[in-house]
Amino acid sequence: MTDYPYICSALRELCDGVDYEVTDLANASALLYSSMDRLNWAGFYLMRDGMLILGPFQGRPACTVIEPGKGVCRTAAEQDRTVVVPDVHLFPGHIACDSASESEIVVPIHVNGEIFGVLDIDSPVKNRFSDEDREGLERFVRILEDCISKDLK
């Protein structure tokens, strides 16, 4: 079980006094990857010129650009909602960046009311992500949104 109060508190401390969103994102991905069990990827895709581009992450090399209408990350961004996929092989249009991935959760990130990017977490275990994970990661992202908003001022 993931200790979401701890990782949320740790994220606040890591972001305190930081003026660069890439630094916050890098530390956030490392914090998640080291704090959650049964993961094979934790990181970010950032919205740039209508495309989701690879941002800071932990794990194996990943897809660099996700085009509109493709994958779990684009679905979460386009529908502006958290998407939990118990079995990625059953998700229409899933992009297999890592063949070991079996389940995935993606949470949209907003800055100034716009989609800034997404938090993407993959697991080599089917049905890895619960409602508790969804709620905890949504809280984590709200803190990260506050940090990034301050960085970009």
Domains and CATH numbers, the chain: 4-151 (3.30.450.40)
- Supply the pLDDT for residue 95: 78
- Supply the pLDDT for residue 6: 97
- Supply the pLDDT for residue 1: 84
Regions of the chain where pLDDT drops below 70: none
Q: How far is CA 151 from CA 22, 98, 110, 139, in A?
A: 9, 31, 13, 19
Q: What is the pLDDT of residues 91-120, one digit of tens each?
A: 887 777 777 899 999 999 999 999 999 999
- Supply the pLDDT for residue 122: 96
- Supply the pLDDT for residue 93: 76
User: What is the pTM for the complete model shown?
Assistant: 0.96
- Supply the pLDDT for residue 97: 75
- Supply the pLDDT for residue 71: 92
